[in-house]
Amino acid sequence: MYAYIIRRLGSAVVVLFGISVVSFLLIYAIPADPARLIVGPKAPPSVVEGMRHQLGLDQPLPLQYIHYIWRLLHGDLGVSYSFNLPVLTMIGQRLWPTVELALGCWIAELIIGIPLGIYTARRARRMSDFILSALALIGISLPVFWLGLLLLYWFAFRVPIFPLGGFGGLRYLVLPSLTYGITGAAYYMRLLKSSMLEVMEQDYVRTARAKGAGESRVTWRHVVRNALIPVVTFGGIDFSYLLTGVILIESTFNWNGLGTLAYTAIQNIDIPVIMGTVLLVAVAVVVFNLIVDILYAVIDPRIRYS
Amino acid sequence: MESLHPQPVPVSMPAREASRPSLSRRLWRSVRTYPMLYVGGLIVLLLVIAAVFAPVLAPHNPDTQFQDIGLNAEGTPVGPNATFPFGTDSVGRDVLSRLLYGARVSLIVGIVSTLINLLLGVVIGLISGYFGGWVDNVLMRITDVILAFPVLLLSMALVAVVGPSLWTVLWVIGVVGWGTMARVVRGQVLALKEFEYVQAERALGASHGRIMFRVILPNLMGPVIVLSTLNVGANILTEAGLSFLGIGIQPPTPSWGNMIQEGIQTYTFAPWTMWFPGLALVLAVLGFNLLGDGLRDILDPHSATRR
């Protein structure tokens, strides 16, 4: 098992290195001149040159990359062009709202998706399964920002139960989470359903039935537990989709998190902030998947040897 | 074995004709077996017709601002009526006409960016799976890197630095979103290259290029077509997301995403300005998802995973 974990860690380090190269190239190999962006379009060429020197842009690219990595490893993501604040500080201020929203969205997905998956698997090929599966397909096709606006319209504007967007307590979290929950739950539902249908065919399920186990014991003890394995894997993959959804939801619900930060930075062409956010998200995705894979190897011994 | 014993043709032919169900009956049976495929195909077909014939089908010019009949006395949008079937927007433009022209943007971005995903994903996946070893290792780590960036976020960053336009959006989504395709293709190639007919080609001295593109590639088409179809829907959503955020297709060019964005200002008193573009988007994405799922039932019956 340790060999597997070490191998997995090694590849994660390589991927993190790749991510740093991509975000570095995005910052420096771009047609727009960062020095020109900072000093403004009217500054004389000598000032631009001075800024280029100050930013180290007159050095060869590999050397610039080494400096970039060095700063990254010291937690220095650069300074925002438009706010003149360290990017790390700006991200730090916005991190918690995004984590809170992401957690809310994820929980909503599971609360809707898992029970529906179990229900449709047990009712496979009946009318209720057919209707729910059709609804799931529609759910997958819904643009998350549009659904958010619809929910805002009905449950905050027409029937004012919830606030009209913004970040705050639990009441503010309900509609955004529900928005993502509705669009994302369908994946969990479909995955769990097909996985359960597969497990139901297994010999050990037949054995359990033959030994006289009741239907609910078979479902919960034998089928659901084993069918959850691919669902756990998908949880890792889903993380990246979750973050995409969160960006759009933040913008829809005026939620002051990382997505809004990246969005504002893009409006201002504030490249250090854009790249800092992109880098952070990519690193989070890699680390999250690493943790899922390792936990997975600990839980399921079959994985380690494949 | 029947073919070895030729039957008396004149006798058997009419009998066979009679026992064969009529075309319409066979079509109906096929529709009942694969409902998703046909419903999805129909939606996609309607979408293509809307996009191609937008100038003919649109009742008005999508950019004309009808400030007299298109706006109420208070300057608010007009609701659905005979002249404007889906109402007008905040500056008095016909929503239906803009929707039809918006279909062009969605389809062009969705399909062309998918073709770029397809090209990159298939070539990288094929080479990776076929050669294995360090080539596979390097290419798959690169794939991991690209998959670590959420497509929308990386597209946002790229569009921000290159500047938003239809072409940028199309290229960016194409260049960013090939990771899943590469992984799926690689997995298939790993299994396919052990098959005897592939081994036989190699024994006959076929070149690597020939084995990869002439022998293995045709056998990959099932999963690749299914994934591409689903990918078109996903890319349409990404484009809409970018346009919604204001960094995709720029107004006044109509895109469903930027129409929803513009609708935010008016939707409390003119909700149709937001409803219709959203519905169009759902329908289009649903169409590709249904078609993709339906095609999988036919082309790739063993796989049940998606995304």
- Helices H / strands E in chain B, number of each: 14, 0
Rounded Cα distance between B236 and B283, Å, is: 11
Question: Would you call A31 and B281 a contact, using CB atoms and an 8 Å cutoff?
Answer: no
The phi and psi torsions of B86 (rounded to 5 degrees) equal: -110, 20
Helix, strand, or coil (residue B1)? coil
Beta bridge partners of A86: A79
B281 occurs within a structural domain: yes
- Predicted pLDDT at B284: 96
- The answer on A128 and A105 residing in a single domain is yes
Residue B277: give the domain boundaries.
95-300
CATH number at residue A174: 1.10.3720.10
Asked if B145 reaches chain A (Cβ–Cβ under 8 Å), the answer is yes
- The answer on A103 and A47 residing in a single domain is no
User: For residues B267 and B274, is the Cβ–Cβ distance under 8 A?
Assistant: yes
Residue carrying the six token digits 């000598």: A46
Beta bridge partners of A79: A86
State the average pLDDT over residues A116-127. 88
A154 occurs within a structural domain: yes
- The answer on A257 and A153 residing in a single domain is yes
Give yes or no for residue A101 having a pLDDT over 60: yes
- Predicted pLDDT at A228: 85
B230 occurs within a structural domain: yes
State the average pLDDT over residues A82-103. 90
Question: Would you call A146 and B282 a contact, using CB atoms and an 8 Å cutoff?
Answer: yes
Asked if B138 reaches chain A (Cβ–Cβ under 8 Å), the answer is no
Q: pLDDT (tens digit, 9 = 90+) per residue, A151-184?
A: 999 998 888 888 887 787 788 999 999 999 999 9
A84 occurs within a structural domain: no
B143 occurs within a structural domain: yes
State the average pLDDT over residues A141-146. 93
Rounded Cα distance between B277 and B254, Å, is: 10
Helix, strand, or coil (residue A81)? coil
B190 occurs within a structural domain: yes
A14 occurs within a structural domain: no
**Which two three-digit tokens encode residue B39?**
């419903």
B273 occurs within a structural domain: yes
Sign of CA dihedral B187, B191, B197, B200: positive
Amino acid letter for position B275: W
Q: pLDDT under 50 in chain B at which residues? A: 1-4, 6, 8-15, 304-307
- Predicted pLDDT at B41: 94
Q: How many domains does chain A have?
A: 2
- The answer on A262 and A132 residing in a single domain is yes
Asked if A262 reaches chain B (Cβ–Cβ under 8 Å), the answer is yes
Rounded Cα distance between A290 and A305, Å, is: 17
B27 occurs within a structural domain: no
Q: How far is CA B235 from the centre of its chain?
A: 7
Q: How many domains does chain B have?
A: 1
Give yes or no for residue A225 having a pLDDT over 70: yes
Question: Would you call A149 and B264 a contact, using CB atoms and an 8 Å cutoff?
Answer: yes
Nearest to B296 by CA among B231, B227, B232: B227
- Predicted pLDDT at B306: 38
B213 occurs within a structural domain: yes
A16 occurs within a structural domain: no
- The answer on A153 and A69 residing in a single domain is no
Q: Complex ipTM, two decimals?
A: 0.86
Helix, strand, or coil (residue B88)? strand
CATH number at residue B241: 1.10.3720.10
- Predicted pLDDT at A32: 61
A11 occurs within a structural domain: no
Residue A50: give the domain boundaries.
33-76
Residue carrying the six token digits 């929308």: B152
Q: Which residue has the higher pLDDT, A145 or A269?
A: A145
Pick the last residue of a domain from A76, A111, A133.
A76
A37 occurs within a structural domain: yes
Give the dihedral of Cα atoms A70, A73, A75, A78; nearest 10 deg. 30
For residue A20, what is the nearest residue in chain B, using CA coordinates? Answer: B145
A164 occurs within a structural domain: yes
- The answer on A156 and A53 residing in a single domain is no
Q: How confident is the model at residue A45 (pLDDT cuts 50, 70, 90)?
A: confident
Q: How confident is the model at residue A34 (pLDDT cuts 50, 70, 90)?
A: low
Asked if A231 reaches chain B (Cβ–Cβ under 8 Å), the answer is no
Q: pLDDT (tens digit, 9 = 90+) per residue, B259-284?
A: 999 998 888 888 899 999 999 999 99
State the average pLDDT over residues A84-94. 90
Rounded Cα distance between A144 and B211, Å, is: 43
Give the dihedral of Cα atoms B260, B261, B262, B265; nearest 10 deg. 100
- Predicted pLDDT at B6: 47
- The answer on A193 and A70 residing in a single domain is no
Percent of all residues in chain A with a pLDDT value above 70, rounded to a whole number: 95
